[in-house]
Amino acid sequence: MESKIFKAYDIRGIYPIELNEETARLIAQTFLKILSQQLNKPIKDLKISICRDARQSSEPLMNVVRETFLEYGVAVDDFNLISINDFYFSVGYYKYDGGIMATASHNPSEYGGFKMVMLNPEDKASIEFISGQELYVELTKLNFPLNDQKVEGKLQKKDLKKDYLKNLLSSADIKKIKPLKVVVDTGNGMMGLLIPELFKNLPCELIHLFPELDSNFPNRPPNPLEPGASNKLAQKVLEEKADLGVIFDVDGDRMFLVDEKGNFLRGDMVLLLLAKSMLHLHPGAGIAYNLICSHAVKDLVAKWGGRPIRSEVGYLNLARHMREQGGVMSGEVSGHFAFKDNYYADSGFIALLLALQAISMDGRKLSEMIKDFTLYSRADELNIQVQDINAELDKIKNKYRDNILDEIDGITVEFPDWWFNVRPSNTEPLLRITVEANSAVEVKKHQQEIMDIINS
C-alpha cells in the first residue's frame, strides 16, 4: 500500500498497482472506525450510502467495500451508478451517517479511488468531507477486531432519481429559463445518466455530446481543463449556433461553460454568472470565492448587493467559510461550485441551472455578459519549480513587505492598480503565481518582476 494515494481531498491511485482490493478493505474498515468515533455510534448501528462511477476499477473496489460493511453489521444502501452530485445529495437528503463513492474524479482511466463524506453531527443540513490524508493517519492506527460481535448487515438497492430531480428543479428559478439551445458534453462520464432527464423539465433544446458511459473516455480527456478537452464542444456550439456549451468533468462535480462564440470561460467568470442568479433568489446573500479569483468577483458581488466572502484555495476551505460566515454558495477558478442548500457540497447540476437562469434573465448573448465581468486583465497561473519554497517566499516577503495583504494561503500582495498571489503547491516543489492588473502589458511586466526575484 502506497501512502501517496491518500490525497488532501480523497483517495486516488493506479488500479491495481497502487490501489487494489486489499487496500479497499483496509479503507472500508478505517472509514467505519472514523464514522463510529466521530458520531459516537457503534459500528453495527451505522447506516451508509454507497455508489460508484463507471470506471473499470470502481466495481471490484466497491464490491469489497460493500462486503466489508456488511460483515461488520452496517446497514448499506447501494445507489450503484450515479454522479458525485447524486452521491452528496443521497447522504444529505436521506440523512445517512456517511457515504463512500468509488471514483477517481477526473484522473485518467487507469486510476481508481474513493470519495468519503459524513453527515455533520452538529448540523444535519451539511455534510463533512473525510480527506484521504485523514483516513491514512487512522488506517496506520487500525486495531482489530472493530466489533466484538459479528452481526450481518443489511443491504438495500436504492434509486434516488425522482427525489433528486425534484430537489434540483427547486434550486433555481426554473420559470425564468427561456428556450435556449444548449450543447452539453458529459465526456462519457456520470453526468450523462441524468442530463436528458433534467432537460425534459426545461424549455431548452439539448444537444448531448458523448452521453454513453465509457470508462476509457475515448472522446476527450476526463479533465475539462486539459489542453484541447473542450475543442469538440466549442466546435459543436458553432455548428449548431447554440447559445452556450457546458462541459463537466467525468464524475460531475466541476462545470465550465463555452460562450456562443466557442470561447472557454474561466471558472471565476462562471462564478459571477451564478452569483447573479443566486442574488436574485437570495438578495444580500454571502458568496464565497477563493483568493486567486479575479477581484471582479468581490467588486461585482458587492455592487450587486451581495456579501463577498474571501477564502483560501480548495473547496473544503470554501465550504468552511460558507458555513462560518453564512454564505449561500461558493466557487473557484477550478470550476467547483458548492451550495448551502446542497449540504455545502459541489453540484454541477445546480451550477448549470443557475447559469441558464442568469443568461435567460439577462437576455443578451453570453459573450456580452462576460464582457461586463472582465474588469481586469490576467494571465494563466504560472507554475515555477524551485529548490527551497520557504527561501523563495521569504525573498518575496522582503521585497513587498509594505504591501502584503495577508498570508492565509501563500502571500497576497496588493497595489492600487495590480495584485498578485504566490502560494506553494501541496504536492510538488512548485510556486504558483497569479497576477492581475489593469492591462495585459502590466500583467506581463509584473510576472517578469516576480520571476526576477525568484531567480535572483
Rounded to an integer, the average pLDDT of 92-99 is 98
Residues 410 and 334 in one domain: no
Could you tell me which residues are beta bridge partners of residue 420?
A: 413, 435
Residues 196 and 183 in one domain: yes
Q: Give Cβ neighbours of residue 380 (< 8 Å, ≥ 6 apart).
A: none
- Which of 344, 373, 402 corresponds to the end of one domain? 373
pLDDT value of residue 149: 65
The position carrying cell 498570508 is: 407
- Which of 141, 159, 177 corresponds to the end of one domain? 159
CB atoms within 10 A of CB 58: 22
Whether 378 has a pLDDT exceeding 90, the answer reads yes
Whether 427 has a pLDDT exceeding 80, the answer reads no
Read off the pLDDT band of 316 (50, 70, 90). confident
Residues 257 and 395 in one domain: no
Residues 395 and 323 in one domain: no
The position carrying cell 451581495 is: 306
Comparing CA positions, the residue from 137, 247, 263 lying closest to residue 195 is 247
* Exposure class string for 2-40: b at 16+ Cβ within 10 A, else e: eeebbbebbbbbbbbebbbeebbbbbbbbbbbbbbebee
Residues 268 and 398 in one domain: no
Residues 341 and 396 in one domain: no
pLDDT value of residue 395: 96
Helices and strands (H, E) in the chain, number of each type: 14, 22
- Could you give the percent of the chain with pLDDT greater than 70? 99
Residues 62 and 206 in one domain: no
CATH number at residue 407: 3.30.310.50
- 335 contacts 313 by C-beta, under 8 angstroms: no
At 192, the amino acid letter reads: G
At 191, the amino acid letter reads: M
Could you tell me which residues are beta bridge partners of residue 377?
A: 437
**Structural domains in the chain (count):** 3
Q: What is the DSSP string of 39-102?
A: HT--GGG-EEEEEE-S-TTHHHHHHHHHHHHHHTT-EEEEEEE--HHHHHHHHHHHT-SEEEEE
Read off the pLDDT band of 429 (50, 70, 90). confident
Marked catalytic residue, from 105, 215, 277, 330: 105
The position carrying cell 472500508 is: 28
Mean pLDDT of the chain: 96
Q: What is the dihedral of CA 112, 380, 266, 104, to 10 degrees?
A: 0
pLDDT value of residue 426: 74
Residues 172 and 268 in one domain: yes
Whether 143 has a pLDDT exceeding 90, the answer reads no
Cα–Cα distance for residue pair 343/336, rounded to 1 Å: 14
Residues 336 and 446 in one domain: no
- Which of 128, 159, 190 corresponds to the end of one domain? 159
Instruction: Kindly list the strands in the beta sheet with 244-248, ordered across the sheet, starting from the edge strand earlier in the chain.
Output: 205-209, 181-185, 244-248, 255-258
Report pLDDT digits (tens) over 223-270.
999 999 999 999 999 999 999 999 999 999 999 999 999 999 999 999
The position carrying cell 439551445 is: 181
DSSP secondary structure code for residue 264 in this structure = B
Cα–Cα distance for residue pair 169/173, rounded to 1 Å: 8
Residues 350 and 419 in one domain: no
Q: Which of 15-24, 334-343, 418-427 has the lowest mean pLDDT?
A: 418-427
Residues 328 and 180 in one domain: yes
Residues 135 and 256 in one domain: no
State the residue range of the domain holding 309.
Answer: 164-373
pLDDT value of residue 56: 97
Q: What is the DSSP string of 15-30?
A: TTTTS-HHHHHHHHHH
Could you tell me which residues are beta bridge partners of residue 290?
A: 311
CATH number at residue 238: 3.40.120.10
Assess whether 105 carries a catalytic annotation. yes
Q: Which three cell numbers stand for residue 34?
A: 472514523
* Exposure class string for 319-355: b at 16+ Cβ within 10 A, else e: bbbbbeeebbbbbbbbbbbbbbbbbbbbbbbbbbbbb
Burial of 46 (0-12, 13-18, 19+ CB in 10 A): buried
